[in-house]
Chain A
Amino acid sequence: MSRKQKAALVRIIITAALTLLLILIPAVPESGWLRLALFAVPYLLIGYDILIEAVDGVLHLRPFDECFLMAVATVGAFALGEYSEGVAVMLFYQIGELFQSVAVGKSRRSIGALMDIRPDYANLEGEGGTVSRVDPDEVAIGSVIVVDPGEKIPIDGVIISGTSTVDTRALTGESVPRRVVTGDRVAGGCINVSGVIRIRTEKEFGESTASKILELLEGASSKKSKSEDFISKFARIYTPAVCGGALALAVIPPLVSLALGGDAGFGIWIYRALTFLVISCPCALVVSIPLTFFAAIGGAGTLGILIKGSNYIETLSNVRTVVFDKTGTMTKGTFSVSGIHHPRVEESVILDFAAHAESASSHPIAGSIIDAYTSATGSAVDRSRVTDVTEIGGQGVTATVDGVRVAAGNGKLMDALGIQYSECHEVGTVVHVAFDGRYVGHILISDEIKPTAKEAIAAMRRARVKRAVMLTGDKESVGRAVAEQLGADDVYSELLPDGKVEIVEKLISEAEKGEAVAFVGDGINDAPVLARADVGFAMGALGSDAAIEAADVVIMDDDPRRVADAISLARGSMAIVHENIAFAIGVKLLCLLLGAVGVAGMWAAIFADVGVMVLAVCNAIRALFVGKYDHRKESK
Chain B
Amino acid sequence: MKKTYKIDVDCANCALKMEEAAKKTPGVAGAVVNFMTLRMSVEFDEGVSPADVMKSVRANCKRVERDCEVFI
A-to-B contact residues, CB < 8 Å: 49, 52-53, 56, 60, 62, 97, 100-101, 104, 107-108, 111-112, 115, 214-215, 217-222, 224, 228, 232, 286-291, 294-295, 297-298
Contacts and interface: CB of A to CB of B under 8 A. Distances in A.
Contacts of B32: 218-222
Nearest to A4: B10
A218 B10 contact: no
B12 A218 contact: no
Given A232-B16, A290-B15, A218 B34 contact: yes
Given A52-B66, A56-B66, A218-B41, A101 B11 contact: yes
Nearest to B23: A222
B66 A53 contact: yes
22 contacts: A49-B67, A53-B67, A60-B63, A100-B10, A101-B10, A104-B35, A111-B36, A112-B37, A115-B37, A214-B4, A215-B2, A215-B41, A220-B32, A221-B33, A222-B30, A224-B16, A287-B11, A290-B35, A291-B11, A294-B12, A294-B36, A298-B36
A321 to B, nearest CB: 30
A228 B36 contact: no
A289 B63 CA distance: 23
Given A53-B67, A289-B12, A290-B15, 17 more contacts: A49-B67, A53-B66, A101-B11, A104-B11, A112-B36, A215-B2, A218-B32, A218-B34, A218-B37, A219-B32, A220-B34, A221-B34, A224-B16, A228-B16, A287-B13, A288-B12, A290-B35
A52 B66 CA distance: 9
A286 B64 CA distance: 15
A218 B11 contact: no
Nearest to A107: B36
A115 B4 CA distance: 16
Contacts of B41: 215, 218-219
Contacts of A298: 36-37
B38 interface: yes
Contact of A297 (B2, B16, B36, B67): B36
Interface string B1-13: 0101000001111
Contacts of A107: 36
Contacts of A290: 12-13, 15-16, 35
Contact of B38 (A56, A60, A108, A219): A108
Contacts of B66: 52-53, 56
Nearest to A5: B10
B12 A104 contact: yes
A308 to B, nearest CB: 10
Given A53-B66, A53-B67, A56-B66, A218 B39 contact: yes
B52 to A, nearest CB: 22
Contacts of A291: 11-12, 35
Contacts of B37: 108, 111-112, 115, 217-218, 298
Main secondary structure of the interface of A (DSSP, over half): helix
Interface string B32-54: 11111111010000000000000
A214 B3 CA distance: 12
A312 B16 CA distance: 17
B13 to A, nearest CB: 4
Contacts of B64: 60, 62
Interface of B is mostly: mixed
A156 to B, nearest CB: 20
Given A49-B67, A56-B66, A218-B4, A97 B10 contact: yes
Nearest to B64: A62
B36 A295 contact: yes
Nearest to B35: A294
A566 to B, nearest CB: 17
Contacts of B67: 49, 53
B2, B36, B41 interface centre (most CB from chain A within 10 Å): B36
B11 A108 contact: no
Contacts of A97: 10-11
A450 to B, nearest CB: 31
Sorted nearest first, the 7 A-B pairs with minimum C-beta distance are: A290-B12, A298-B36, A291-B12, A286-B13, A222-B32, A294-B35, A294-B36
A460 B11 CA distance: 35
A218 B39 CA distance: 7
B64 to A, nearest CB: 7
Nearest to A232: B16
A288 B16 CA distance: 12
A100 B11 contact: yes
A60 B33 CA distance: 22
B34 A217 contact: yes
Contacts of A288: 12
Nearest to A285: B13
Contacts of B10: 97, 100-101, 104
A37 to B, nearest CB: 28
Nearest to A228: B16
Contacts of A218: 4, 32, 34, 37, 39, 41
A287 B12 contact: yes
Contacts of B4: 214, 218
A102 to B, nearest CB: 10
Contacts of B30: 222
Nearest to B4: A218
Which residue, B37, B39, B64, B67, has most C-beta atoms of chain A within 10 A?
Answer: B37
Contacts of B38: 108
Nearest to B10: A101
A53 to B, nearest CB: 6
A129 B39 CA distance: 38
A325 to B, nearest CB: 29
Contacts of A104: 10-12, 35
A250 to B, nearest CB: 28
A104 B38 CA distance: 11
Contacts of B35: 104, 221, 290-291, 294
A286 B10 CA distance: 13
Contacts of B2: 215
Contacts of A49: 67
B44 to A, nearest CB: 14
A66 to B, nearest CB: 9
